[in-house]
Amino acid sequence: MLRFKSLLVAGAIALPLQYPADWQLLEYRDLPANAVEFGAAGMAVRVDVSASPIIYPLPEPVRIERIEVSGHLDGLLALEPGIQGSRDGDDFALKLGLVVAGDKTLNPVQRLFTAGWIKRLYALAPEDAGIDRIEFFNVVQEPALLGARRQHPLSDLIYENNVWLIDAPGNFDLSHRLDEPLEVIAIWLSIDGDDSQSRYTTLIRDLRIHAPG
């Protein structure tokens, strides 16, 4: 809790991108994992035809109304025009996910047949509670996708909001205010290139979540 309080600055929580201790680096079955490095510059996620979840569980639920992220993208996804988000090109250079508290849980039978990353997602919930969904806020490479929202076709737990456009390598400084505040129990970063056979690095220098007020 002391570390959590030390990150609280003027209503904003700055996540500790230089330190790996509180981050969970997971892997998908049958997919190469990204290489993730923590250092003075921040969190560097190196994609080599790979994908893997990066999770920061919050010590306690936080009501969030705005998110900010800055960093550097050293390359683009190897996507043909019009492909991003499709089954053959479902890759994004950055998806910032908010794991929303709720009442959905897994029963014992579901635990036997559910993928590991989904079980891990439910495990993030406080004791005697559950989750509602993950709201992802995406960087897109295709201008036509900007502003779109969807429930992901592979999971009824995942919703995606395309709120930022980056169509050239370089520095980025992004901010987004949510339509309404959400009660959040974890931050979930998704950075991938497995579908598009892409190789690039996303460096996150600063990541902040803002409470109302």
Residue 206 has pLDDT above 60, yes or no: yes
Q: Cα 25 to the chain's mean position, in Å?
A: 12
Residue 120 has pLDDT above 80, yes or no: no
For residues 193 and 196, give the distance between their C-alpha atoms in angstroms, rounded to a whole number.
6
**DSSP code per residue over 113-169:** HS-HHHHHHHHTSPTT-EEEEEEEEEEES-GGGTT-EEE-TT-TTEEEEEEEE--SS
Residue 1 has pLDDT above 60, yes or no: no
pLDDT, tens digit (0-9, with 9 covering 90-100), for 46-55: 999 999 999 9
Set out the domains of the chain in order of their start, with CATH numbers: 2-210 (2.60.120)
**Which pair of tokens denotes residue 28?**
């998908």
For residues 80 and 182, give the distance between their C-alpha atoms in angstroms, rounded to a whole number.
35
| Mean pLDDT for all residues in the chain | 89
pLDDT, tens digit (0-9, with 9 covering 90-100), for 3-53: 444 355 557 899 999 999 989 998 888 899 999 999 999 999 999 999 999
What does the pLDDT read at residue 189? 97
Where is mean pLDDT largest: 51-60, 91-100, 155-164?
Answer: 91-100
pTM given for the model:
0.90
Average confidence (pLDDT) over 191-206? 97
pLDDT, tens digit (0-9, with 9 covering 90-100), for 102-116: 888 777 767 765 777
Percentage of residues in the chain having pLDDT higher than 90? 69
* Residue 116 or residue 185, greater confidence: 185
What does the pLDDT read at residue 37? 97
What does the pLDDT read at residue 3? 46
